[in-house]
Amino acid sequence: RRYLTTLNAANGKFFGPVARYDDGATQSYHGMLLSVQKRLSKGTSLSANYTLSHCIGNFADINANGPPADETYINPNNRNFDRGNCDIDRRHLFNLTASGQTPKFNNKTVNMLASGWRLSGIYRYNAGAPINVNYNTTDRALNGTLRQRPNLVSGVNPYGDTSGGPNTAYLNPAAFALPALGTFGNLGWNALTGPGTWSPDT
């Protein structure tokens, strides 16, 4: 809106927020998949796989349903200012599946009750999703865009209590500071990583 107002003050004031997009953005993905498998023998089987990957790209539609007006490049003149870890980036993925079957027993009653049972378990671990730290209500760059990013304070760990306990602050607020008026923050897009998740299933 501000850009349109500077071009034509008389008509620019009638516009609301306007997002700028183009089709020149790119994303790149590199990954390595390792897997091991133990076929069924003596009633047990095991399968595991691990993926190490990294996706880097330009800013993309957050909601995947058509970008609203406040989802745009922070610096309209530099698309690569919003280049960083993709929203889908998960650096580490691990899956483990194990299965065991009870053997046959000599005792007829025990064999009838206890043999042939199969127990299976699945364990999955996902590394954390990227975190884009921003302030949505303050226009420090004085260019009318929202979701501007702060400065990362030099020498201060941006992570707080990463133990995952209740009522803990995962990020350290002291590590972030507002940039000077008319400037952009130095923290990159999706520069931080959230906590990983794991889940068992039997």
User: pLDDT digits over 55-64, tens only?
Assistant: 999 887 655 6
Nearest to 116 by CA among 106, 105, 130: 105
Q: What is the pLDDT of residues 114-133, one digit of tens each?
A: 888 888 899 999 999 999 99
98 vs 105, which has greater pLDDT?
Answer: 98
Residue that the structure tokens 């607020």 belong to: 173
Of the ranges 86-90, 108-112, 185-189, which one carries the lowest mean pLDDT score? 108-112
The Cα–Cα gap between 145 and 76 comes to: 9
Q: What is the pLDDT of residue 134?
A: 92
- Helix (H) / strand (E) element for 2: namely helix 2-7
Length of the chain: 202
Residue that the structure tokens 């507002």 belong to: 178
